[in-house]
Amino acid sequence: MRNPFVDAERYIQLRKHFSPRSWGDTMAVINELLVSPFITLFLALIGKVSLVSAIPTVFSTFRSWKQWLEYNDLKYAIQRMFLITMANGGPFIVTNDSDYMPYVWADGFMRVSQRR
């Protein structure tokens, strides 16, 4: 089993990128995941793309989609930690910053796991 605190840390990092609070950052993520690859694909279909511009776009798109899939996987892992913690009488610690709640759920999950 993976370490819940490592998962919580990675989730927080990815959430900052893929769930930004500003509209401009949201548009940047949409451009990174959808618009830029479609433009490159369109240019490739009409024969106007150069390898110098296409290769970085392909690698960047692949990396972004891989991180987005990891983010969604971690989102469900955090939700599982939340449900297990709540079902066992938690949370056991508190934070005033909602950005760091995944650490609370990781702590609760670890406490429940150690009791078993």
110 pLDDT more than 70: yes
Tokens linked to 16: 């900052």
Number of domains in the chain: 1
**What are 42-94's pLDDT values in tens digits?**
999 999 989 898 999 999 999 999 999 999 999 999 999 999 999 999 899 99
Count CB neighbours of 34 within 10 A.
Answer: 13
Q: Using CB atoms within 10 Å of the CB of residue 109, give its burial: 0 to 12 exposed, 13 to 18 middle, 19+ buried.
A: buried
The domain of 24 spans 4-115
Confidence bin at 116 (pLDDT 50/70/90): confident
CA dist list (Å): 4 to 41, 74, 84, 107, 108: 39, 10, 12, 8, 10
pLDDT of residue 1 exceeding 60, the answer is no
Kindly state the helix (H) or strand (E) to which residue 66 belongs, with its residue range. helix 51-87
Write the CA distances from 62 to 11, 16, 69, 103, 114, integer angstroms: 19, 19, 11, 29, 38
Mean pLDDT of 12-27: 96
Q: How is residue 13 written in tokens?
A: 């990092």
